[in-house]
């Protein structure tokens, strides 16, 4: 029994740590409760979709999809086009999503194929691929748009005549999803429609896991060799997981930006991968296992920390930058921690199974492997 | 790929294209300039009443005097305008109008609507004066524009070059 | 034709493209009015500046720990060395030596912990290195804010807290290596003898090290772990030594970089410092678990050459500064290429 309790603490160590941290930081920051509640509701509507985009690659055994930034780029391209054409409101957002769709599918296919070339190193490959594609994205946005790709609205262009401005205002579509079904409870604005979309995509993920392809994906994630032998097209399944993740990231980025109301052309997408991954991990997910509750808990905890740490830093040593650095440290640190825990576990299990193999205990080794999955 | 799945895929693709065109049509944003300047139609000069209240698509009403212009941002082709005359004969007119998809800025003439002029004359294209004349003003105007849903206060038209 | 094919396969298509691109840039330079001697001189200075950072990657690649994206740990040690040396008031050569000595002490401490950590996570080093590096940079950013530095050239005046974002080393040890035995030809050409000499000396030491017993053992661990284990080499120890070396070389590298650049960049400055070095060594022909000194030299020369030449040529021809975008594409494309190559998987 005590070992079960211990396991509970070990399994939820990250969540517990952050709950304690936030419980300390909220009083120090001195921020009022209603403000925090409102912000958390807004940020749940804004970020949850993006974090959900990470779930399928984890199930497919490809780890944290740092390549989701590619989808975010596709989403931003869609938004830039509808802003140029001046399509407003919900139709504008839908059109942006439709434009982002083929770009996301192509980028996801590319990302999945490249990751298939680097099996066992998917994460670092996705991470570098995101940087690489960022270069191409900048090429398109800063040099091709307005010269090769027609942009009608001169207000969007830099003064040199081509290239998109650093900041694109999304006045026409700003918060049109969040305010579609207005609801106010106890003075708090609730983005009902965004929540409905999130519920729908969560349902899709849960449904997808149960389909034949979903089961294949899970099998491929647990043991590539065995599922390949069982006739599962492992490589295609992995590519599909990344394509879905990229498409969801594209839509997620559009939802994210419609809430913010502006695009930072060259930087809005850059940190989205890191923030989403950090949020998911803070919610108690690991490199091999993540669920919808992890997403929700993670977004709430991560953004609470995000909100209170600058003020807490200011009140502690009088510098807002302290909190800013602290929250960046937390984002990076939690990813480092999760990766270390995952690899550590894997290495230990490998050593154990090697030891048992030498001792001739084949069934024990098999069990250890099952645990790893 | 079988011919059946090819057919299905083509249908999906065509569906998406059709949907895109439809979304473009119903989502295209327009800047409406509600105008109370006197107009001459069929040799008859129509003048706006002293004070009116104008509202587009049921948004909060704006008060307007003579020879004024206010900017309203809308999306989609079909809109309704409600004009309530405050001074003189107290009457309220509600009319529907349609904006061509590719007309970015349109002038909506209040006197034409009140004067029961034919509906073709209600909406006219607004062409901004050549950019060389007032580039700074032009820029100013676009940056000051608040989000589409909020009505624009008359002050915001200050940057709008008057012909 | 066959040998040509083999050459392409060995050297790798991206590398050939990059080399040809650089030659094209140099060839085009005189025709578009770019000052070639000045460009070559700039390239040399940059090689001296960055060479040791590239060199710092060799030990970890050789021991099978992969590309050291966590080089920022070494960089942080170097920053600590530089700032503490200035704080203690040393100037000139003594300041420079003090900075190096202090940075080596910190490098050893950081390398110790970093090496112990990486030994626990064999197979997942690269991603962990990246994020350990990132989070250390952030922890140090907090430290720069609250550490009790007093020297007025380094701290924010008037009400700010902590150290400045960039600290000039002018008046301390700016260009101390670059100007040592400098060869100045005409107005535009300057050969940074001191920096290049130090780079060469360090390379020679590394060369010697990898011909000693311990060095060959490290190479064996990286290239054939099974064989290494069978011949009784302590794998963890060899990996640990290589990580220590890499971190300490990184610390030295950043100080050499600073004396040439003229500034110490604190806070988020070291965040991405590892990436150009990694790109350089890969362009030079290294793989994820094999690197030679030749790779370092060729890589540093090609990469720095591209960085110097691209902006000047593009500005002259197209009146566009695309150099940043090209740098991003070239360096990350090269890393991506190396990651996706089928390498013998180290187990």
ipTM for the whole complex: 0.86
Tokens representing C1 are: 């034709």
Reply yes or no on whether the pLDDT at B139 is more than 60.
no
pLDDT of residue A138: 92
Residues 6 or more apart whose Cβ sits within 8 Å of residue C213: none
Would the pLDDT of A78 be above 90?
A: yes
In degrees and rounded to multiples of 5, residue A116 shows phi and psi of: -65, -25
C231-263: per-residue pLDDT in tens? 888 888 999 999 999 999 999 999 999 988 888
Q: At B158, is the pLDDT very low, low, confident or very high (cuts 50, 70, 90)?
A: very low
Contact call for C145 and A340, based on CB within 8 A: no
C139 interaction partners in chain A (CB closer than 8 Å): 329, 333
Mutation pick from A83, A91, A105 vs chain B, by most beta carbons of B within 10 Å, is: A91
Specify the pLDDT at position B149.
33
Sign of CA dihedral C310, C312, C316, C318: positive
B120-to-A138, A317, B25, B93, B102 alpha-carbon distances in Å: 46, 68, 20, 17, 16
Q: Looking at the predicted structure, is the pLDDT value of residue A179 above 90?
A: no
Give the pLDDT of residue A161.
Answer: 84
What is the C-alpha to C-alpha distance for residues A245 and A52, in angstroms, rounded to an integer?
8
Residue B116 confidence (pLDDT) above 80: no
Q: Which fold has domain C19-340?
A: ABC transporter involved in vitamin B12 uptake, BtuC (1.10.3470)
Q: Is the pLDDT of residue A109 over 80?
A: yes
Distance between CA atoms of A274 and B124, rounded to whole angstroms?
A: 50
Of the segments A295-299, B132-136, C21-25, which one has the largest average pLDDT value? A295-299
Of C227, C179, C175, the closest CA to residue C346 belongs to C227
> Considering Cα of C299, then C301, then C306, then C311, what sign does the dihedral take?
positive
Under 8 Å between Cβ of C321 and C315: yes
Tokens (6 digits) for B158: 């200050």
Please say if the pLDDT value at position B35 is more than 70: yes
Query: CA angle, corner A206, sides to A205 and A208, nearest 5?
Result: 60
* Chains within contact range of chain A (3+ C-beta pairs < 8 Å): B, C
Q: Single out the residue of C282, C316, C305 nearest to residue C67, CA to CA.
A: C282
Does residue B2 surpass a pLDDT of 80?
A: no
Tokens linked to A213: 């392809």
Determine what percent of chain A is predicted with pLDDT higher than 90.
44
Q: What is the rounded radius of gyration, in angstroms, for the C-alpha atoms of chain A?
A: 22
Q: Across chain C, where does the E strand assignment appear?
A: 166-168, 183-185, 189-191, 263-265
**Stretch among A57-66, A309-318, C223-232, C243-252 having the lowest mean pLDDT:** A309-318
SS3 percent helix, strand, coil of chain B, rounded to 5, is 30, 30, 40
The label of the residue with tokens 């969560």 reads: A202
pLDDT for residue B148 is more than 60? no
Strand residues in C28-179 grouped as ranges (E): 166-168
Q: What is the DSSP string of B53-75?
A: EEEETTPPPEEE-SS-EEEEEEE
For the segment C135-152, the average pLDDT, to the nearest whole number, is 87
Q: Per residue in C100-128, pLDDT tens? A: 999 999 999 999 999 999 988 888 888 89
More confident residue, A9 or B21: B21
Helix spans in chain C (H): 2-11, 13-28, 36-55, 58-62, 72-87, 92-120, 125-146, 193-209, 213-223, 225-230, 235-261, 274-283, 293-318, 323-340
Instruction: Return the biggest CA–CA distance within chain A.
Output: 74
Interchain CB contact of A172 with B (< 8 Å): yes
In chain B, domain spans: 3-154
**Is A242:A65 a contact under the CB 8 Å cutoff?**
yes
Q: What confidence tens digit (pLDDT) does each residue in A231-252 have? A: 888 999 999 999 999 999 999 9
Q: Which is it for strands B39-41 and A188-189: parallel, antiparallel or unpaired?
A: unpaired
Give the nearest partner residue to C138 out of A143, A317, A332, using CB atoms: A332
pTM of full prediction above 0.80: yes
Cβ neighbours of residue A198 closer than 8 Å, sequence gap 6 or more: A44, A45, A48, A49, A52
Work out the mean pLDDT of chain C and round it to a whole number: 86
What pLDDT shows up at residue A358? 61
In this prediction, residue B20 carries a pLDDT of 92
Give yes or no for a contact between A263 and A77, defined as CB atoms under 8 angstroms apart: no
Alpha carbon A200 to its chain's center: 17
Mean pLDDT of chain B: 74
Chains C and A touch (3+ CB pairs under 8 A): yes
Domain span at residue A31? Answer: 2-372
Residue A33 burial (10 A CB sphere; 0-12, 13-18, 19+):
exposed
The whole-angstrom separation of Cα A346 and Cα C347 is: 13
- The CATH number of residue A306's host domain is 1.10.3470
Give the tens place of pLDDT for each residue, C269-313: 888 888 999 999 988 888 888 888 888 998 999 899 888 888 888
- Of C98, C100, C79, C93, the C-alpha closest to C149 is C79
Interatomic CA distance for residues C76 and C136, integer angstroms = 8
Q: Is the pLDDT of residue C68 over 70?
A: yes
Q: Provide Rg for chain C, Cα atoms.
A: 20
Q: Contact C203/C324 with Cβ under 8 angstroms?
A: no
* CA separation for the pair A193, C278 (Å, rounded): 46
**Rounded average pLDDT over C199-210:** 92
**Greatest extent of chain B over all pairs of C-alpha atoms, in Å:** 74
Q: What is the pLDDT of residue B154?
A: 34
The mean pLDDT value for A83-95 works out to: 91
A165 shares contact with chain B (CB less than 8 Å): no
pLDDT at res. B11 = 93
Rounded Cα distance between C264 and C266, Å, is 6
- Among A276-285, A302-311, A359-368, the minimum mean pLDDT is found in A359-368
Which pLDDT belongs to residue C345? 38
Rounded (10°) CA dihedral C250, C252, C256, C261: 50
Cα torsion C211, C215, C217, C219: sign: negative
Give pLDDT, residue C346: 35
The answer, yes or no, to whether residue A136 has pLDDT greater than 70, is: yes
CB neighbours of B13 closer than 8 A, spacing ≥ 6? none
Q: Is the pLDDT of residue B135 over 90?
A: no
Number of domains chain A contains: 1
Nearest-CA residue of chain A relative to C326?
Answer: A135
C-alpha–C-alpha distance, residues C233 and A200, integer Å: 56
- Is the pLDDT at B14 greater than 80? The verdict is yes
Which chains share 3+ C-beta pairs under 8 angstroms with C?
A
Question: Hey, are the CB atoms on A125 and C134 less than 8 Å from each other?
Answer: no
Hey, are the CB atoms on B28 and A98 less than 8 Å from each other? no
Number of DSSP helices (H) and strands (E) in chain A, helices first: 15, 4
pLDDT at residue number B63: 84
């Amino acid at each position: 029994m005590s070992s079960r309790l211990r396991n509970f603490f070990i399994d939820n160590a990250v969540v517990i740590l952050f709950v304690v941290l936030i419980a300390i930081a909220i009083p120090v920051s001195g921020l009022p409760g209603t403000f925090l509640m409102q912000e958390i509701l807004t940020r749940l509507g804004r970020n949850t979709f993006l974090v959900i985009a990470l779930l399928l690659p984890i199930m497919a055994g490809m780890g944290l999809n740092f390549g989701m930034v590619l989808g975010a780029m596709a989403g931003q391209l869609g938004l830039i086009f509808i802003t140029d054409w001046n399509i407003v409101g919900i139709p504008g957002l839908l059109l942006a999503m439709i434009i982002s769709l083929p770009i996301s599918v192509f980028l996801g296919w590319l990302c999945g194929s490249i990751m298939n070339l680097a099996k066992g190193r998917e994460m670092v490959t996705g991470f570098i691929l995101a940087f690489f594609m960022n270069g191409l994205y900048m090429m398109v946005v800063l040099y091709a748009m307005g010269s090769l790709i027609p942009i009608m609205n001169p207000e969007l262009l830099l003064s040199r005549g081509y290239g998109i401005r650093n900041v694109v205002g999304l006045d026409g579509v700003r918060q049109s999803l969040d305010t579609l079904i207005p609801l106010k409870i106890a003075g708090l604005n609730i983005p009902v429609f965004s929540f409905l979309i999130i519920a729908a995509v969560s349902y899709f993920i849960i449904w997808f896991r149960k389909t034949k392809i979903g089961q294949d994906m899970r099998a491929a994630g647990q043991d590539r060799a065995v599922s390949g032998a069982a006739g599962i097209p492992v490589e295609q399944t992995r590519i599909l997981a990344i394509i879905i993740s990229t498409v969801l990231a594209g839509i997620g980025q559009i939802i994210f930006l419609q809430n913010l109301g502006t695009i930072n052309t060259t930087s809005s997408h850059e940190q989205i991968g890191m923030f989403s991954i950090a949020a998911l991990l803070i919610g108690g997910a690991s490199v091999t296992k993540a669920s919808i509750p992890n997403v929700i808990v993670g977004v709430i905890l991560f953004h609470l920390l995000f909100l209170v740490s600058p003020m807490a830093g200011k009140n502690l040593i009088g510098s807002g930058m302290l909190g800013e650095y602290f929250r960046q440290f937390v984002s990076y640190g939690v990813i480092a921690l999760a990766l270390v825990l995952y690899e550590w576990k894997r290495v230990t299990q490998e050593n154990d199974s090697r030891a048992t193999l030498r001792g001739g205990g084949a069934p024990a080794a098999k069990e250890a492997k099952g645990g790893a999955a | 790929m079988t011919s059946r799945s090819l057919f299905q895929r083509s249908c999906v693709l065509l569906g998406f294209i059709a949907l895109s065109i439809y979304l473009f049509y119903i989502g295209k944003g327009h800047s409406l300039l509600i105008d109370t300047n006197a107009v001459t139609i069929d040799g008859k000069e129509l003048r706006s009443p002293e004070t009116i209240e104008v509202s587009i698509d049921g948004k909060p009403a704006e008060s307007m005097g003579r020879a004024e212009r206010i900017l309203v941002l809308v999306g989609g082709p079909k809109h309704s305008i409600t004009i309530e005359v405050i001074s003189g004969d107290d009457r309220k007119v509600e009319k529907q109008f349609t904006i061509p998809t590719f007309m970015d800025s349109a002038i909506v003439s209040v006197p034409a609507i009140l004067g029961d002029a034919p509906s073709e004359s209600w909406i006219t294209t607004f062409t901004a004066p050549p950019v060389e004349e007032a580039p700074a003003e032009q820029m100013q105007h676009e940056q000051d524009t608040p989000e589409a849903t909020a009505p624009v206060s008359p002050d915001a038209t200050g940057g709008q070059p008057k012909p | 034709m066959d040998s040509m094919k083999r050459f392409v396969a060995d050297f790798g298509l991206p590398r050939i493209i990059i080399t040809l691109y650089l030659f094209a840039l140099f060839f085009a330079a005189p025709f578009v009015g770019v000052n070639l001697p000045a460009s070559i001189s700039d390239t040399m200075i940059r090689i001296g500046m960055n060479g040791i950072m590239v060199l710092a990657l060799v030990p970890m690649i050789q021991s099978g720990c992969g590309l050291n994206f966590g080089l920022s740990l070494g960089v942080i040690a170097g920053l600590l060395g530089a700032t503490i040396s200035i704080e203690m008031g040393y100037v000139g050569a003594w300041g420079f030596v003090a900075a190096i000595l202090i940075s080596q002490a910190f490098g050893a401490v950081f390398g110790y912990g970093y090496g112990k950590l990486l030994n626990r996570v064999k197979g997942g080093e690269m991603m962990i290195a990246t994020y350990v590096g990132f989070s250390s940079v952030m922890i140090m950013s907090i430290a720069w804010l609250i550490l009790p530095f007093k020297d007025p050239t380094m701290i924010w005046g008037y009400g700010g807290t902590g150290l400045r974002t960039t600290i000039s080393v002018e008046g301390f040890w700016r260009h101390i290596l670059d100007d040592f035995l400098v060869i100045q030809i005409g107005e535009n050409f300057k050969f940074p003898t001191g920096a290049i000499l130090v780079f060469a000396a360090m390379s020679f030491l590394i060369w010697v090290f990898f011909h000693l017993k311990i060095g060959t053992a490290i190479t064996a661990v990286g290239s054939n772990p099974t064989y290494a284990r069978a011949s009784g080499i302590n794998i963890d120890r060899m990996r640990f030594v290589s990580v220590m070396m890499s971190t300490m070389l990184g610390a030295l590298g950043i100080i050499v970089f600073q004396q040439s650049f003229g500034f110490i960049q604190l806070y988020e400055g070291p965040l991405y410092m590892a990436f150009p070095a990694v790109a350089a060594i890969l362009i030079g022909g290294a793989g994820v678990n094999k690197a030679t000194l030749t790779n370092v030299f060729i890589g540093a020369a090609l990469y720095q050459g591209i960085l110097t030449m691209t902006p000047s040529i593009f500005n002259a021809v197209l009146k566009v500064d695309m150099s940043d975008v090209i740098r991003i594409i070239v360096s990350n494309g090269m890393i991506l290429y190396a990651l996706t190559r089928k390498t013998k998987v180290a187990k």
